[in-house]
Copies of this chain bind each other. A is one copy, B any other.
Amino acid sequence: MNEEKVITLNSLAKACADCHLQDVCLPIGISRKDMQRLDDIIKRKRPLPAGQALFRQGEDFRALYAIRSGSFKSVVYENNGRESINAFHFPGEILGLDSISERSCPSSAISLETSSVCELPFEELEELAQHIKGLQHQLLRIMSREIKAEDAFLRSLTHRSADQRLASFIINLAERRGNHGYSNHEFKLAMSRSDIANYLGLAVETISRLFTRFQNEGLLEIRRKKLKILKPEALMVTARTGSDSDKPDSNLAK
Q: Which residues on A are within 8 Å of B, measured CB to CB?
A: 76, 78-84, 86-87, 97-102, 106, 126, 129-130, 133, 136-137, 139-148, 150-152, 154-159, 198, 200-201, 203, 240-241, 249, 251-254
Contact = CB atoms under 8 A, between A and B. Distances in A.
Chain A interface, DSSP helix/strand/loop, else mixed: helix
A152 B106 contact: yes
Given A136-B126, A151-B151, A157 B158 contact: yes
A147 B152 CA distance: 12
10 contacts: A78-B156, A80-B240, A82-B252, A86-B155, A101-B148, A140-B140, A143-B143, A157-B201, A158-B158, A159-B198
B143 A140 contact: yes
A119 B102 CA distance: 26
A200 B252 CA distance: 11
A238 to B, nearest CB: 12
Given A76-B152, A126-B137, A144 B97 contact: yes
